[in-house]
Protein backbone atom coordinates (compact mmCIF):
# COMPACT_ATOMS: atom_id res chain seq x y z
CA UNK A 1 0.00 0.00 0.00
CA UNK A 2 1.37 3.39 -0.97
CA UNK A 3 2.43 5.71 1.83
CA UNK A 4 -0.03 8.50 2.61
CA UNK A 5 1.26 11.83 1.32
CA UNK A 6 0.62 14.63 3.81
CA UNK A 7 0.31 18.32 3.01
CA UNK A 8 -0.05 21.34 5.29
CA UNK A 9 -1.34 24.81 4.40
CA UNK A 10 -0.78 27.54 7.00
CA UNK A 11 2.41 27.08 9.01
CA UNK A 12 2.01 29.94 11.45
CA UNK A 13 1.92 30.00 15.23
CA UNK A 14 -0.14 26.83 15.67
CA UNK A 15 0.18 25.26 12.24
CA UNK A 16 3.95 25.37 12.39
CA UNK A 17 3.99 23.60 15.72
CA UNK A 18 1.62 20.87 14.53
CA UNK A 19 3.65 20.46 11.36
CA UNK A 20 6.85 20.02 13.37
CA UNK A 21 5.20 17.16 15.27
CA UNK A 22 4.66 15.45 11.92
CA UNK A 23 8.11 16.08 10.48
CA UNK A 24 9.73 15.41 13.85
CA UNK A 25 8.25 11.91 13.75
CA UNK A 26 10.01 11.35 10.45
CA UNK A 27 7.07 11.86 8.10
CA UNK A 28 7.54 13.82 4.90
CA UNK A 29 5.36 16.91 4.69
CA UNK A 30 4.56 19.14 1.72
CA UNK A 31 3.94 22.65 3.04
CA UNK A 32 2.82 26.11 1.99
CA UNK A 33 2.73 29.39 3.88
CA UNK A 34 2.94 32.99 2.60
CA UNK A 35 6.01 33.35 4.82
CA UNK A 36 8.54 31.12 3.10
CA UNK A 37 10.72 30.86 6.20
CA UNK A 38 7.85 29.18 8.05
CA UNK A 39 7.99 26.23 5.65
CA UNK A 40 11.66 25.64 6.43
CA UNK A 41 11.08 26.11 10.17
CA UNK A 42 8.43 23.38 10.05
CA UNK A 43 10.81 21.00 8.29
CA UNK A 44 8.44 20.76 5.33
CA UNK A 45 9.09 20.35 1.64
CA UNK A 46 8.16 23.71 0.06
CA UNK A 47 5.22 23.98 -2.33
CA UNK A 48 4.82 27.08 -4.49
CA UNK A 49 1.08 27.45 -3.83
CA UNK A 50 -1.72 26.05 -1.68
CA UNK A 51 -3.06 24.37 -4.82
CA UNK A 52 0.28 22.59 -5.28
CA UNK A 53 -0.11 21.13 -1.78
CA UNK A 54 -3.53 19.77 -2.72
CA UNK A 55 -2.19 18.34 -5.99
CA UNK A 56 0.67 16.57 -4.23
CA UNK A 57 -1.08 15.22 -1.11
CA UNK A 58 -3.56 12.55 -0.09
CA UNK A 59 -4.30 14.25 3.24
CA UNK A 60 -4.29 18.06 3.41
CA UNK A 61 -4.29 19.94 6.72
CA UNK A 62 -5.34 23.59 6.94
CA UNK A 63 -4.46 25.89 9.84
CA UNK A 64 -5.66 29.39 8.99
CA UNK A 65 -6.86 32.42 11.00
CA UNK A 66 -10.59 32.36 10.17
CA UNK A 67 -13.27 31.47 7.63
CA UNK A 68 -12.49 34.45 5.41
CA UNK A 69 -8.94 33.20 4.94
CA UNK A 70 -10.07 29.59 4.51
CA UNK A 71 -12.55 30.67 1.84
CA UNK A 72 -9.90 32.79 0.13
CA UNK A 73 -7.53 29.82 0.00
CA UNK A 74 -10.15 27.31 -1.18
CA UNK A 75 -11.98 29.57 -3.63
CA UNK A 76 -9.45 32.28 -4.44
CA UNK A 77 -7.31 30.22 -6.81
CA UNK A 78 -9.24 28.05 -9.32
CA UNK A 79 -6.31 25.63 -9.25
CA UNK A 80 -7.11 24.70 -5.66
CA UNK A 81 -10.51 23.16 -6.38
CA UNK A 82 -9.26 21.84 -9.71
CA UNK A 83 -6.63 19.85 -7.79
CA UNK A 84 -9.14 18.24 -5.42
CA UNK A 85 -9.76 14.60 -6.33
CA UNK A 86 -11.76 11.52 -5.42
CA UNK A 87 -10.85 9.99 -2.06
CA UNK A 88 -8.82 12.95 -0.83
CA UNK A 89 -9.11 14.02 2.82
CA UNK A 90 -8.91 17.69 3.79
CA UNK A 91 -8.89 18.57 7.50
CA UNK A 92 -9.53 22.15 8.59
CA UNK A 93 -7.81 22.85 11.92
CA UNK A 94 -8.76 26.54 11.85
CA UNK A 95 -11.24 28.34 14.08
CA UNK A 96 -14.02 28.96 11.59
CA UNK A 97 -17.70 29.72 11.22
CA UNK A 98 -19.66 26.42 11.05
CA UNK A 99 -21.92 27.61 8.21
CA UNK A 100 -18.88 28.42 6.05
CA UNK A 101 -17.42 25.03 6.95
CA UNK A 102 -20.55 23.21 5.79
CA UNK A 103 -20.54 25.06 2.46
CA UNK A 104 -16.92 24.16 1.79
CA UNK A 105 -17.56 20.54 2.80
CA UNK A 106 -20.40 20.34 0.26
CA UNK A 107 -18.24 21.84 -2.50
CA UNK A 108 -15.45 19.34 -1.86
CA UNK A 109 -17.88 16.41 -1.55
CA UNK A 110 -19.13 17.22 -5.05
CA UNK A 111 -15.56 16.60 -6.21
CA UNK A 112 -15.27 13.31 -4.35
CA UNK A 113 -13.20 14.60 -1.43
CA UNK A 114 -14.03 14.58 2.27
CA UNK A 115 -13.72 17.69 4.44
CA UNK A 116 -13.41 17.35 8.21
CA UNK A 117 -13.54 20.34 10.55
CA UNK A 118 -11.26 19.82 13.52
CA UNK A 119 -11.17 22.54 16.14
CA UNK A 120 -8.09 22.40 18.35
CA UNK A 121 -7.57 23.20 22.02
CA UNK A 122 -4.56 23.25 24.30
CA UNK A 123 -2.63 26.24 23.01
CA UNK A 124 0.93 26.56 21.82
CA UNK A 125 2.39 24.40 24.59
CA UNK A 126 0.17 21.43 23.73
CA UNK A 127 0.85 21.91 20.02
CA UNK A 128 4.57 21.85 20.78
CA UNK A 129 4.24 18.62 22.77
CA UNK A 130 1.78 17.02 20.34
CA UNK A 131 -0.93 16.76 23.01
CA UNK A 132 -3.73 18.88 21.56
CA UNK A 133 -7.41 18.07 21.97
CA UNK A 134 -9.31 17.87 18.67
CA UNK A 135 -13.06 18.29 18.26
CA UNK A 136 -14.07 16.95 14.85
CA UNK A 137 -17.11 17.31 12.62
CA UNK A 138 -17.76 15.09 9.62
CA UNK A 139 -17.64 11.48 8.46
CA UNK A 140 -16.63 8.94 11.12
CA UNK A 141 -14.92 6.60 8.65
CA UNK A 142 -12.87 9.47 7.24
CA UNK A 143 -11.78 10.41 10.74
CA UNK A 144 -10.55 6.88 11.38
CA UNK A 145 -8.57 6.96 8.14
CA UNK A 146 -6.84 10.20 9.06
CA UNK A 147 -6.28 9.40 12.77
CA UNK A 148 -2.67 8.25 12.29
CA UNK A 149 -1.85 11.75 11.01
CA UNK A 150 -3.86 13.57 13.69
CA UNK A 151 -2.27 11.42 16.40
CA UNK A 152 1.06 13.05 15.61
CA UNK A 153 -0.06 16.25 17.31
CA UNK A 154 -3.07 15.31 19.43
CA UNK A 155 -3.71 13.36 22.61
CA UNK A 156 -7.51 13.29 22.44
CA UNK A 157 -9.81 13.29 19.41
CA UNK A 158 -13.58 13.62 19.77
CA UNK A 159 -16.08 13.12 16.96
CA UNK A 160 -18.69 15.77 17.75
CA UNK A 161 -21.18 15.19 14.94
CA UNK A 162 -21.79 16.04 11.32
CA UNK A 163 -19.95 18.66 9.25
CA UNK A 164 -19.60 21.92 11.19
CA UNK A 165 -19.98 20.27 14.61
CA UNK A 166 -16.26 20.40 15.35
CA UNK A 167 -16.03 24.10 14.64
CA UNK A 168 -19.22 24.68 16.64
CA UNK A 169 -17.80 22.97 19.73
CA UNK A 170 -14.56 24.89 19.23
CA UNK A 171 -16.40 28.23 19.38
CA UNK A 172 -18.27 27.16 22.50
CA UNK A 173 -15.03 26.12 24.17
CA UNK A 174 -13.19 29.27 23.14
CA UNK A 175 -15.91 31.47 24.58
CA UNK A 176 -15.56 29.77 27.97
CA UNK A 177 -11.80 30.11 27.70
CA UNK A 178 -12.10 33.83 26.91
CA UNK A 179 -14.57 34.36 29.75
CA UNK A 180 -12.39 32.57 32.30
CA UNK A 181 -9.23 34.36 31.22
CA UNK A 182 -10.73 37.85 31.22
CA UNK A 183 -12.60 37.34 34.50
CA UNK A 184 -9.55 35.88 36.23
CA UNK A 185 -7.42 38.76 34.96
CA UNK A 186 -9.86 41.21 36.55
CA UNK A 187 -9.83 39.29 39.85
CA UNK A 188 -6.04 39.13 39.95
CA UNK A 189 -5.67 42.87 39.34
CA UNK A 190 -8.12 43.44 42.19
CA UNK A 191 -6.13 41.06 44.40
CA UNK A 192 -2.94 42.97 43.63
CA UNK A 193 -4.57 46.30 44.48
CA UNK A 194 -5.86 44.76 47.72
CA UNK A 195 -2.23 43.98 48.59
CA UNK A 196 -2.83 40.23 48.75
CA UNK A 197 -0.18 37.60 48.12
CA UNK A 198 -1.03 36.45 44.60
CA UNK A 199 0.40 32.95 44.94
CA UNK A 200 -1.78 32.40 47.99
CA UNK A 201 -4.82 33.78 46.18
CA UNK A 202 -4.25 31.29 43.35
CA UNK A 203 -3.83 28.45 45.83
CA UNK A 204 -7.18 29.38 47.36
CA UNK A 205 -8.92 29.68 43.98
CA UNK A 206 -7.51 26.38 42.78
CA UNK A 207 -8.83 24.66 45.92
CA UNK A 208 -12.20 26.41 45.64
CA UNK A 209 -15.14 26.88 43.31
CA UNK A 210 -13.42 29.66 41.34
CA UNK A 211 -10.92 27.25 39.80
CA UNK A 212 -10.58 27.34 36.00
CA UNK A 213 -8.00 26.82 33.27
CA UNK A 214 -6.59 30.32 33.74
CA UNK A 215 -6.10 29.95 37.50
CA UNK A 216 -4.51 26.54 37.06
CA UNK A 217 -2.32 27.06 34.01
CA UNK A 218 -1.92 30.73 33.16
CA UNK A 219 -1.70 32.91 36.22
CA UNK A 220 0.83 30.87 38.22
CA UNK A 221 3.22 31.84 35.41
CA UNK A 222 1.93 35.37 34.80
CA UNK A 223 2.50 36.46 38.41
CA UNK A 224 6.20 35.71 37.87
CA UNK A 225 6.30 37.72 34.63
CA UNK A 226 6.06 34.73 32.26
CA UNK A 227 3.20 35.44 29.86
CA UNK A 228 3.57 32.08 28.07
CA UNK A 229 4.20 33.74 24.74
CA UNK A 230 3.22 31.92 21.58
CA UNK A 231 -0.48 31.47 22.17
CA UNK A 232 -3.61 33.17 20.89
CA UNK A 233 -3.36 36.96 20.62
CA UNK A 234 -5.86 39.45 22.00
CA UNK A 235 -7.10 40.21 18.48
CA UNK A 236 -7.64 36.53 17.73
CA UNK A 237 -9.38 35.99 21.05
CA UNK A 238 -11.74 38.86 20.26
CA UNK A 239 -12.30 37.37 16.80
CA UNK A 240 -13.25 34.02 18.35
CA UNK A 241 -15.74 35.64 20.72
CA UNK A 242 -17.24 37.50 17.75
CA UNK A 243 -17.63 34.20 15.87
CA UNK A 244 -19.33 32.78 18.97
CA UNK A 245 -21.79 35.68 18.98
CA UNK A 246 -22.55 35.13 15.29
CA UNK A 247 -23.17 31.44 16.01
CA UNK A 248 -25.56 32.22 18.86
CA UNK A 249 -27.41 34.71 16.67
CA UNK A 250 -27.92 31.94 14.10
CA UNK A 251 -29.10 29.53 16.79
CA UNK A 252 -31.42 32.06 18.42
CA UNK A 253 -29.68 31.85 21.80
CA UNK A 254 -29.09 35.06 23.78
CA UNK A 255 -25.56 35.69 25.01
CA UNK A 256 -25.83 37.26 28.43
CA UNK A 257 -22.17 36.84 29.31
CA UNK A 258 -20.37 38.01 26.16
CA UNK A 259 -19.98 41.71 27.16
CA UNK A 260 -17.21 40.85 29.63
CA UNK A 261 -14.71 39.21 27.27
CA UNK A 262 -15.69 41.53 24.40
CA UNK A 263 -14.88 44.53 26.59
CA UNK A 264 -11.70 43.01 28.03
CA UNK A 265 -10.08 41.91 24.79
CA UNK A 266 -11.38 44.99 23.00
CA UNK A 267 -9.68 47.09 25.68
CA UNK A 268 -6.45 45.12 25.23
CA UNK A 269 -6.53 45.72 21.49
CA UNK A 270 -7.26 49.43 21.92
CA UNK A 271 -4.38 49.87 24.38
CA UNK A 272 -1.77 48.40 22.05
CA UNK A 273 -1.82 44.71 23.00
CA UNK A 274 -3.58 43.54 19.82
CA UNK A 275 -0.78 41.25 18.66
CA UNK A 276 0.40 40.24 22.13
CA UNK A 277 -0.62 36.93 23.68
CA UNK A 278 -4.12 37.13 25.16
CA UNK A 279 -2.71 36.65 28.66
CA UNK A 280 -1.64 40.30 28.47
CA UNK A 281 -5.31 41.24 28.86
CA UNK A 282 -4.36 41.43 32.55
CA UNK A 283 -1.95 44.28 31.74
CA UNK A 284 -4.65 46.14 29.82
CA UNK A 285 -6.95 45.88 32.83
CA UNK A 286 -4.02 46.87 35.00
CA UNK A 287 -3.35 49.93 32.84
CA UNK A 288 -6.82 51.35 33.50
CA UNK A 289 -6.60 50.39 37.18
CA UNK A 290 -3.68 52.71 37.90
CA UNK A 291 -0.81 50.98 36.11
CA UNK A 292 -1.03 47.69 38.00
CA UNK A 293 1.26 44.76 37.19
CA UNK A 294 1.07 41.40 38.89
CA UNK A 295 4.86 41.07 38.93
CA UNK A 296 7.98 43.18 39.24
CA UNK A 297 8.74 44.77 35.87
CA UNK A 298 12.25 43.33 35.73
CA UNK A 299 10.82 39.81 36.07
CA UNK A 300 8.78 39.94 32.89
CA UNK A 301 9.85 37.28 30.40
Q: Give the number of other Cβ atoms within 10 Å of residue 13's Cβ.
A: 19
Determine whether 221 is exposed, middle or buried from the number of CB atoms within 10 Å of its CB (0-12, 13-18, 19+): middle
Element (H, E) at 181: helix 165-193
CA gap 284, 262 in Å, rounded: 13
CA gap 46, 52 in Å, rounded: 10
CA gap 222, 287 in Å, rounded: 16
Determine whether 200 is exposed, middle or buried from the number of CB atoms within 10 Å of its CB (0-12, 13-18, 19+): exposed
Which residue is catalytic, options 170, 221, 229, 239? Answer: 170
Asked if 170 is an active-site residue, the reply is yes
Sheet holding 59-62, edge to edge: 45-46, 29-32, 6-9, 59-62, 89-92, 114-121, 132-137, 154-161
* Nearest in space to 76 (alpha carbons), one of 64, 58, 91: 64
Active-site residue list: 170
Amino acid sequence: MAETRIGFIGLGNMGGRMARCITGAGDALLGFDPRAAAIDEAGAIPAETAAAVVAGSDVVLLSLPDSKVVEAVVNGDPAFLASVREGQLIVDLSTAAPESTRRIAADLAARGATYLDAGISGGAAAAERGTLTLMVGGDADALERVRPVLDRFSAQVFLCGASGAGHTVKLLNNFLNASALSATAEVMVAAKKADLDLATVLDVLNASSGVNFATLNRFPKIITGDYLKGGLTNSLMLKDVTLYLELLAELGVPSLNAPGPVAAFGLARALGYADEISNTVVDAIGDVSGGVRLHDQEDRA
